[in-house]
C-alpha cells in the first residue's frame, strides 16, 4: 500500500513535537531556571554558550583562539592580560583605574560603543565616597568637571493628587568645597572614569559584548567577546587573564551563565523610567531656586508610584532636568501598569506641569535597580573571578554608585595582593570579601537587610504614609471657626480617613525597627 505523503501541516506538527521533546529533555537535565536562560538565548537568535548544570566550555586550542581576522579591531589587543574587567560602569571603571595605577595589565571591556552609552540616569555623586575610594581622582573631578551641578538644595516632596508637603535643606553651607553632593549624567561620568583608567594604563575595548566567562577546570581563565553586541555575530574572540572582574550591572546574564549568581526575581527588582527635559540653565535655576550653577535633588513619594511601593526623583543637570519614577517589577505587573503610563501620570501632576512647562524631551529610557540588597548578595569570590557592584546586588535602595566604587576598591586591593602571591584561586582572592565586609557600605547594606522584606509585606506603606502626612498637613493648614482642640481632633479624623491609626503606627514602628 502506498505511504500517505505528510501534509505541510503534519510536517510542521511533527517538527514542533520533536522540538518540544528536545526542550523537555533539556529541562529535565538542566532544571527550569537554566531552561529559561536557554529559551531567552534562543529567542534572541543566539546559540546558548553554556547551560547551568552542563559541562562548562573548555578554552579552545591556542591556534583556534588567537587568530583575530584582518578586519577585527581587537587584533592589536594581546590575548593575555593580568586582569580582564567587563562592564565600564562605576564598579568596573574604578577597579580598572585602581589596578592599572598599581601597574597591572588591565583590559576593560564595555558592550556599549562608548562607556556610558547604555546607561541612563542622573546620579548623585557623594564627594566623601570619592575621597574614600579614589582620593587621587578628586582634584580631577573638580578641574575637569564631568559632573553637572553642585547640589545645594535637597528636598523631599510628599505628593497626593491635590496636595504637596515639601521638606528640605539648602543653603550656602552646601556650597563650600569639598562639597557634599554633585549631580551627574552617567553618560558623561562613565566615559570620563573609563578615560582615567586608560590614562592610568588600562586598555579599553568598547563595542564588545562579553558572551561568557571561559573556565578551565572550574577556574575562570578569561572571557569570550563578540563584536555584534545586539545580535551576536558568531565571530568571537577569546581573551585570557589571571583574574576576571565581573561588573556587568543589574542584568547578570553572563555571571548567571557562569554559575556565579541567580537570575533576579521580579519582587526584588525596581524598574525606573526616566525622562530628561532640556531647559535653559537660568530657567532651571529659577524654577528650582538654585543660584548660579548650583542644583537640587528632590526625592518624591506618594502620588508618582500610583499606590505601589516606589519612589521618584528630580535631578537638575546643567541644561536639563531628569525625572525618574520607579516601583517593583512585580508591583507594576500586578497593577497592570506599564512604565510609560507611570511616567505620564507623574508628568500630568500640577507640580510637574509647572516645572516642565516649555521643556523639550531629550532622553527617555528605563532601567532596573537591584533591591534585594544584603539578602541576595551572592558569593563574591570564585576561582579566578570576583563580582562587583549591581551584579552582586551591592545596592542600597537607589544608591548603587557608592557600594559599586567601594566594592571595586576592596577587589582591587585583593587582586593586587593575589598577584604578589601568584595565587588567583578562591583562597588567594578571598580577602576581597573580607576587606569589603569592613567597609561602611557593606555594614550599611547589612543594617538595611530587612528593608526588602518589609516592603514586600507592606506593599502600600509609601502610599499610606504619604497620604496620611498630606491629610494631616492639609487639615492643619486649613482654618475654620473652631477652637484649637477641635482643630486637633479634625486633623486626627482626616488622618484616620486614610487608614486606621493602629495600622499607620504599626507600620511606622516596624519601619523604624528595620531601619528602612
Ligand atoms: C534611574 C536611576 C537613577 C539612579 N540614581 C542613582 C544615584 O543618584 N546615586 C547612586 O549612587 N546610584 C544611582 N543609581 C544606581 C546606579 O546607577 C547603579 O547602582 C550603579 O551604576 C551600579 O554600577 P555598576 O558599575 O555595578 O553597573 P552599571 O553602572 O550598570 O555598569 C555596568 C556596565 O556593564 C556593561 N555591560 C553589561 N553587560 C556587559 C557585557 N556582557 N559585556 C560588556 N559590558 C557589559 C553595561 O553596558 C554598563 O556600562 C540609579 C539608577 C537608576 C536606574
CATH code for the domain in which residue 307 is found:
3.30.9.90
pLDDT band at 74 (very low <50, low <70, confident <90, very high): low
88-108 per-residue burial string, b: 16 or more CB within 10 A, e: under 16 = bbbbbbbbbbbbbbbebbbbb
Same domain, yes or no, for 255 and 283? no
Give the residue, 12 or 87, on which the prediction is more confident.
Answer: 87
Residues 328-356: pLDDT tens digits?
898 888 888 887 888 888 899 988 998 99
Same domain, yes or no, for 346 and 222? no
Lowest mean pLDDT: which of 67-76, 158-167, 361-370? 67-76
Residues 227-286: pLDDT tens digits?
776 655 667 899 999 999 999 999 999 999 999 999 888 888 889 999 999 999 999 999
Look at ligand 1, atom 35, and give the residue with the nearest C-alpha.
Answer: 87
Closest atom of ligand 1 relative to the 402 alpha carbon: 11
Q: What is the whole-number distance in angstroms between the Cα of residue 87 and the centre of ligand 1?
A: 9
Same domain, yes or no, for 159 and 294? yes
pLDDT at 377 over 90: yes
pLDDT at 7 over 90: no
Same domain, yes or no, for 196 and 95? yes
Same domain, yes or no, for 327 and 431? no
Q: What is the whole-number distance in angstroms between the Cα of residue 73 and the centre of ligand 1?
A: 26
**160-165: long-range pairs with CB below 8 Å, 24+:** 160/302, 160/303, 160/466, 160/467, 160/470, 160/471, 161/303, 161/349, 163/470, 163/473, 163/474, 164/351, 164/470, 165/469, 165/470, 165/473
322 within some domain: yes
pLDDT band at 22 (very low <50, low <70, confident <90, very high): very low
325 within some domain: yes
Q: Could you tell me if the CB of 239 is within 6 A of ligand 1?
A: no
For residues 462-477, give the mean pLDDT: 94
pLDDT band at 2 (very low <50, low <70, confident <90, very high): very low
Q: Could you tell me if the CB of 400 is within 6 A of ligand 1?
A: yes
394 within some domain: yes
pLDDT at 16: 47
Same domain, yes or no, for 320 and 350? yes
227 near 208, Cβ under 8 Å? yes
Q: Could you tell me if the CB of 325 is within 6 A of ligand 1?
A: no
pLDDT band at 379 (very low <50, low <70, confident <90, very high): very high
Note the Cα 38 to chain centre separation in Å.
Answer: 24
Same domain, yes or no, for 284 and 158? yes
170 within some domain: yes
Overall domain count for the chain: 3
pLDDT at 6: 54
Same domain, yes or no, for 415 and 380? yes
Same domain, yes or no, for 253 and 294? no
Q: Which domain holds residue 504?
A: 460-513
- Cα separation, 239 vs 215, in Å, equals 12
- Cα separation, 281 vs 494, in Å, equals 41
Whether cis (ω within 30° of 0) applies to the bond prior to 28 is: no
Q: Could you tell me if the CB of 254 is within 6 A of ligand 1?
A: yes
Residues 300-317: pLDDT tens digits?
999 888 888 888 999 999
In the chain, pLDDT over 90 holds for what percent of residues?
63
pLDDT at 515: 65
123 within some domain: no
Q: Could you tell me if the CB of 320 is within 6 A of ligand 1?
A: no
DSSP SS3 for 77? coil
Which of 339, 370, 401 is the C-terminal boundary of a domain? 370
pLDDT at 383 over 50: yes
- Cα separation, 344 vs 119, in Å, equals 21
Q: Could you tell me if the CB of 407 is within 6 A of ligand 1?
A: no
Same domain, yes or no, for 174 and 278? yes
Cα torsion angle, 20, 22, 24, 26, sign: negative
pLDDT at 208: 92
Give the residue, 360 or 234, on which the prediction is more confident.
Answer: 360
Same domain, yes or no, for 308 and 397? no
29 within some domain: no
Phi, psi of 149 (to 5 degrees): -140, 155
Contact residues for 19 (Cβ-Cβ < 8 A; gap 6+): none
pLDDT at 181 over 60: yes
Q: What predicted TM-score, i.e. pTM, was given to this entire model? A: 0.84
Which of 323, 346, 370 is the C-terminal boundary of a domain? 370
380 within some domain: yes
139 within some domain: no
DSSP state of 396: B
Residues 484-498: pLDDT tens digits?
999 999 999 999 999
Phi, psi of 269 (to 5 degrees): -125, 130
Number of residues assigned to the chain: 516
Q: Could you tell me if the CB of 109 is within 6 A of ligand 1?
A: yes
Look at ligand 1, atom 41, and give the residue with the nearest C-alpha.
Answer: 210
Q: Could you tell me if the CB of 95 is within 6 A of ligand 1?
A: no
Q: Could you tell me if the CB of 89 is within 6 A of ligand 1?
A: yes
Contact residues for 42 (Cβ-Cβ < 8 A; gap 6+): 48
Nearest to 320 by CA among 366, 284, 273: 284
pLDDT at 169: 96
For residues 168-183, give the mean pLDDT: 93
Contact residues for 328 (Cβ-Cβ < 8 A; gap 6+): 266, 267, 268, 269, 270, 271, 308, 309, 310, 371, 455
Same domain, yes or no, for 365 and 407? no
391 near 248, Cβ under 8 Å? yes
Q: Could you tell me if the CB of 274 is within 6 A of ligand 1?
A: yes
Q: What is the whole-number distance in angstroms between the Cα of residue 100 and the centre of ligand 1?
A: 21
Which of 313, 345, 370 is the C-terminal boundary of a domain? 370
DSSP state of 424: -
pLDDT band at 409 (very low <50, low <70, confident <90, very high): very high
pLDDT at 516: 58
Q: What is the pLDDT of the chain when averaged over all its residues?
A: 85
Q: What is the whole-number distance in angstroms between the Cα of residue 119 and the centre of ligand 1?
A: 6
Amino acid at each position: 500500500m502506498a505511504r500517505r505523503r505528510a501534509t505541510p501541516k503534519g510536517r510542521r506538527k511533527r517538527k514542533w513535537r520533536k522540538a518540544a521533546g528536545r526542550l523537555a529533555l533539556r529541562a529535565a537535565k538542566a532544571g527550569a531556571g537554566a531552561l529559561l536562560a536557554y529559551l531567552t538565548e534562543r529567542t534572541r537568535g543566539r546559540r546558548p554558550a553554556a547551560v547551568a548544570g552542563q559541562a562548562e566550555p573548555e578554552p579552545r586550542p591556542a591556534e583556534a583562539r588567537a587568530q583575530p581576522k584582518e578586519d577585527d579591531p581587537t587584533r592589536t589587543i594581546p590575548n593575555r592580560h593580568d586582569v580582564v574587567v567587563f562592564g565600564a560602569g562605576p564598579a568596573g571603571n574604578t577597579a580598572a583605574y585602581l589596578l592599572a595605577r598599581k601597574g597591572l595589565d588591565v583590559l576593560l571591556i564595555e558592550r556599549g560603543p562608548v562607556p556610558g552609552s547604555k546607561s541612563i540616569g542622573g546620579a548623585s555623586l557623594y564627594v566623601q565616597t570619592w575621597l574614600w575610594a579614589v582620593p587621587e581622582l578628586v582634584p580631577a573631578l573638580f578641574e575637569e568637571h564631568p559632573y553637572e551641578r553642585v547640589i545645594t538644595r535637597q528636598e523631599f516632596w510628599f505628593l497626593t493628587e491635590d496636595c504637596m508637603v515639601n521638606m528640605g535643606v539648602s543653603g550656602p553651607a552646601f556650597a563650600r568645597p569639598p562639597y557634599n553632593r554633585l549631580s551627574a549624567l552617567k553618560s558623561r561620568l562613565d566615559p570620563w572614569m573609563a578615560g582615567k583608567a586608560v590614562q592610568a594604563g588600562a586598555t579599553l575595548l568598547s563595542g564588545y559584548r562579553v558572551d561568557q566567562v571561559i573556565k578551565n577546570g572550574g577556574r575562570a581563565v578569561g572571557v569570550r567577546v563578540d563584536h555584534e553586541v545586539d545580535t551576536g555575530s558568531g565571530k568571537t574572540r577569546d581573551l585570557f587573564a589571571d583574574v576576571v572582574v565581573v561588573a556587568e550591572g543589574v542584568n547578570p546574564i553572563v555571571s548567571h551563565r557562569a554559575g556565579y549568581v541567580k537570575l533576579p526575581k521580579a519582587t526584588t527588582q525596581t524598574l525606573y523610567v526616566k525622562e530628561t527635559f532640556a531647559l535653559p540653565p537660568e530657567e532651571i535655576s529659577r524654577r528650582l531656586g538654585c543660584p548660579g550653577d548650583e542644583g537640587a535633588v528632590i526625592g518624591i513619594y506618594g502620588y508618582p508610584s500610583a499606590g505601589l511601593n516606589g519612589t521618584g526623583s528630580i535631578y537638575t543637570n546643567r541644561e536639563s532636568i531628569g525625572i525618574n519614577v520607579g516601583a517593583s517589577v512585580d508591583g507594576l505587573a500586578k497593577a497592570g501598569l506599564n512604565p510609560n503610563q507611570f511616567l505620564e501620570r507623574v508628568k500630568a501632576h500640577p507640580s510637574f506641569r509647572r516645572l516642565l512647562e516649555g521643556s523639550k524631551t531629550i532622553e527617555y529610557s528605563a532601567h532596573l535597580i537591584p533591591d534585594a540588597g544584603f539578602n541576595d548578595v551572592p558569593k563574591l569570590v570564585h576561582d579566578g573571578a570576583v563580582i562587583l557592584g549591581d551584579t552582586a546586588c551591592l545596592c542600597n535602595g537607589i544608591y548603587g554608585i557608592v557600594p559599586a566604587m567601594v566594592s571595586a576598591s576592596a577587589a582591587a586591593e585583593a587582586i593586587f595582593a593575589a598577584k604578589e602571591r601568584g595565587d588567583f584561586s578562591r583562597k588567594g582572592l578571598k580577602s576581597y570579601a573580607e576587606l569589603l565586609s569592613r567597609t561602611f557600605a557593606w555594614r550599611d547594606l547589612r543594617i538595611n537587610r530587612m528593608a526588602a522584606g518589609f516592603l514586600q509585606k507592606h506593599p502600600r506603606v509609601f502610599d499610606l504614609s504619604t497620604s496620611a502626612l498630606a491629610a494631616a498637613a492639609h487639615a492643619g493648614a486649613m482654618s475654620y471657626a473652631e477652637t484649637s482642640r477641635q482643630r486637633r481632633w479634625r486633623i486626627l479624623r482626616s488622618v484616620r480617613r486614610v487608614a486606621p491609626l493602629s495600622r499607620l503606627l504599626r507600620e511606622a514602628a516596624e519601619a523604624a525597627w528595620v531601619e528602612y
